């Protein structure tokens, strides 16, 4: 798959799930640094926002904007 980074096309590997696609369980780290598994939210709708590092201005701004929009979801 090709994505754009700073206006330049970049080839990335792996599989990007599509909306509605069922994916295998995976584990991420939560706000409290504890493991959080996808299976912990079984039966619930999920919106995932995954970003490389909250320590960068671009990622921090993106996360802030995402959280504002996500707060509007019912």
21 is known as an active-site residue = no
E strand or H helix that includes residue 71: none
Q: How many CA atoms lie within 13 A of 28 on its CB side?
A: 12
Query: How far apart are the C-alpha atoms of 18 and 49, rounded to whole Å?
Result: 14
Which residues, 6+ apart, have CB-to-CB distance to 45 below 8 Å?
none
Catalytic residue among 59, 60, 63, 70: 59
| Residues forming the active site | 59
């Amino acid at each position: 798959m090709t994505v754009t980074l700073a206006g330049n096309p970049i080839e990335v590997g792996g599989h990007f799930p599509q909306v509605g696609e069922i994916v295998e369980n995976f584990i991420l780290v939560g706000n409290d640094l504890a493991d959080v598994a996808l299976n912990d939210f079984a039966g619930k709708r999920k919106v995932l926002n995954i970003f490389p590092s909250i320590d960068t201005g671009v990622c921090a701004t993106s996360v802030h904007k995402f959280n504002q929009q996500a707060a509007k979801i019912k």
